[in-house]
Amino acid sequence: MSHREVREKVVEQVMPEESEGDSAQEMFSQVQEFVEEEFGKEAGLMGSTAKGTFMRGDKDLDIFVFFDESMEEEQLEEEGLEIGEAVFERFDGEYEVEYAEHPYTKGDIEDYEVEVVPAYRVDSGEDIKSSVDRTPFHKQWVNENLSEEEKEEVVLLKAFLRGQELYGSTLRVEGFAGYLCELLIAEYGSFEELLKAAVDWKEEEVIDPEGRHDKLPNYLKEKFSEDSLVVIDPVDEERNVASVLSTENYARFVFSAWAYLQEPGEEFFFPEEVEADREGLETAAETRGDFVTVEFETPDMIDDMLYPQMRRLLSRLELLLEDNEFRLFQSGFYIGEERTRILFELFSDELPGMRKHLGPKMFHNQEHVENFTDKYGEVWVEDTRLATVVERDHKTAENLLEGFLAGGLQEKGVPKNLVPVVEGAEIKGLEFDDEDWRKFLRDEFHLEVGQ
C-alpha cells in the first residue's frame, strides 16, 4: 500500500468532524461567558482545539483565565482556583486541584475534560512570568504559520505517534508534545517529508523554525547538552520544545519513521490489540536469564512525580546489582493500579561464594602493602596491584536486594517519597498473574523476542 493510500484511509478516521469543533466552541463559550459575568475576567481557549489540530474524539478544553501582570503570584493562584472551582460547580462537573507551576483545576464537564488555568496577560513571549504565559503566543504562532492542509498533517503525525506510544509530553510518556508536532510540520511541510528528514537526523539534531541562531551559542549548547532533539521555540529563543523527549523515544521515533517508509501501513497508526499469551511468555522465559522482581504497593502520587522517582529508584538498584557483580540483561518497572513491580533480568541471579578483592598498588607505599598482607595473608600481584580472594557478602541477587531494602533507604539514595512503600518490599521471581503485566513483559520487556 502506498503512503498516499494509507494517508487517505487514516485521515478519514482521525480528522475530527466539523460538529466536534462547533460543540467544543459552544461549551467554551458558555464557560467564557460565566467567567466574564461572574468574575470580570477574560477567558481564552487554548490547546489543539483552539488551533484546529485535535484528533477525532478528543474532548480536551484548555481554558485560560487571564490576570493583570501586576498581580502578586499568591493572589493569582488563590483567585485562579476560586474561579476554576466555581466553573465546575456552575456546570455540574467533577474536579480536582492539579499542580504545575501554578495550581489549577481539572475535571469533567459533560463529556469534556476541562482545565481552568490561571495565567498572566503579557505583551510578548519575552515578558512571561510563568511557563503557561507562553501558551497564547504558541496558539498565535501556529494559527499564523500553519495552513489548513498543514494542520491536517499535524493530526496525521499525532495519530502516528499515538500508535507508536510516543505522543504526550508528560513525564510518564516523555514523548512528543502537541506543540512540538505543530513545529515539526511547520518546518518540513508534511508528515511524509518529516519522516524522510527524520531518518537522517543526527544523534543531536537542532531545528530552529525562526532561524534565530545560525548555530547554538555556547550557553545554549550547555543548557541543551542532555537533549537529543532540540527544537527552538519561536516564542522563546532560549527554550527547547523537545526537552521532555527522552533519548530512547527520540531513537524509537527515528526507527518508526524508517520502518514506515520501508512499508507504509495503517498498523503504524492503529496497532492491533493482541492478548498477551501466558503460555508463550512462560516458555520464552525459560530460554532467557534469571528474573528477580521487587514488588510493593503503588504509591499515591501524581504521574509527573511518580515516574521520575521510579526511574531514579530503578537506576539506584541497577547500580547496586552491578557494583556487586550481577550482570544485567535488561530491567524496567511496571506501575499497576494497586501493585508496582521492578523487574531485573540477570545473566545469573547467583554468584560464586568467593570473589576477587583488589588491594593497593605496589608503588603506593609499604605501609598499605603491609596492612593488606597482614589482613588477608594469601595475596598475589595482579598488574600493579595486590589481590586476594574473599568471601562474598551476598551470593544471590534476592539476598542483596532484601538487605538493601531493609532500612535506611533515604541515606542509600532512594527517593524519599518512595521510602514508605519500598522499605521491606517483597522480592520474588517472575509471575504471569495479570493481563496488563503480561503485556508489559511482551511489549516493554520484549520477552517473546527470539521465539
97-117 pLDDT per residue, tens: 988 778 999 999 999 999 999
Per residue in 25-84, pLDDT (tens digit) is 999 999 999 999 999 999 999 999 999 999 999 999 999 999 998 999 999 999 999 999
Per residue in 194-213, pLDDT (tens digit) is 999 999 999 989 999 999 88
Q: Name residue, grid cell 598475589.
A: 380
Q: Cα–Cα distance between 42 and 25 in angstroms, integer? A: 16
- Reduced to 3 states (helix: H, G, I; strand: E, B; else coil), residue 370 is helix
Judge: domain 16-132, CATH 3.30.460.10: yes
Burial class (CB in 10 A: 0-12, 13-18, 19+), 58: buried
- Predicted local confidence at residue 99, as pLDDT: 84
323: cell is 557494583
Per residue in 357-369, pLDDT (tens digit) is 999 998 867 888 9
Query: What fold, for 146-268?
Result: Poly(a)-polymerase, middle domain (1.10.1410)
- Predicted local confidence at residue 215, as pLDDT: 82
9: cell is 484511509
pTM of this structure: 0.91
Task: Tell me how many degrees the CA angle 374-378-379 measures, rounded to the nearest 5.
Answer: 90
Q: Quick count: other Cβ atoms within 10 Å of Cβ 114?
A: 24
Mean pLDDT of 429-447: 93
Query: What fold, for 278-350+394-444?
Result: Alpha-Beta Plaits (3.30.70)
Mean pLDDT of 312-324: 97
Mean pLDDT of 273-301: 93
- Predicted local confidence at residue 451, as pLDDT: 57
Burial class (CB in 10 A: 0-12, 13-18, 19+), 356: exposed
Q: Is pLDDT at 450 greater than 80 in this prediction?
A: no
- Predicted local confidence at residue 194, as pLDDT: 98
- Predicted local confidence at residue 38, as pLDDT: 96
Mean pLDDT of 124-145: 90
Task: Tell me how many degrees the CA angle 206-209-212 measures, rounded to the nearest 5.
Answer: 85
Q: Is pLDDT at 126 greater than 80 in this prediction?
A: no
Q: What is the DSSP letter of 443?
A: I
| Confidence band, pLDDT 50/70/90 cuts, at residue 399 | very high
**267 near 202, Cβ under 8 Å?**
no
- Predicted local confidence at residue 365, as pLDDT: 78
- Predicted local confidence at residue 257, as pLDDT: 98
- Reduced to 3 states (helix: H, G, I; strand: E, B; else coil), residue 290 is strand
- Predicted local confidence at residue 10, as pLDDT: 97
| Confidence band, pLDDT 50/70/90 cuts, at residue 449 | low
- Predicted local confidence at residue 386, as pLDDT: 93
Give domain limits for the chain: 16-132, 146-268, 278-350+394-444, 354-391
> In percent, how much of the chain has pLDDT > 70?
99
Per residue in 154-186, pLDDT (tens digit) is 999 999 999 999 999 999 999 999 999 999 999
Mean residue pLDDT across the chain: 94
Rg of the chain over all Cα atoms, to the nearest angstrom:
27
> 1 vs 53, which has greater pLDDT?
53
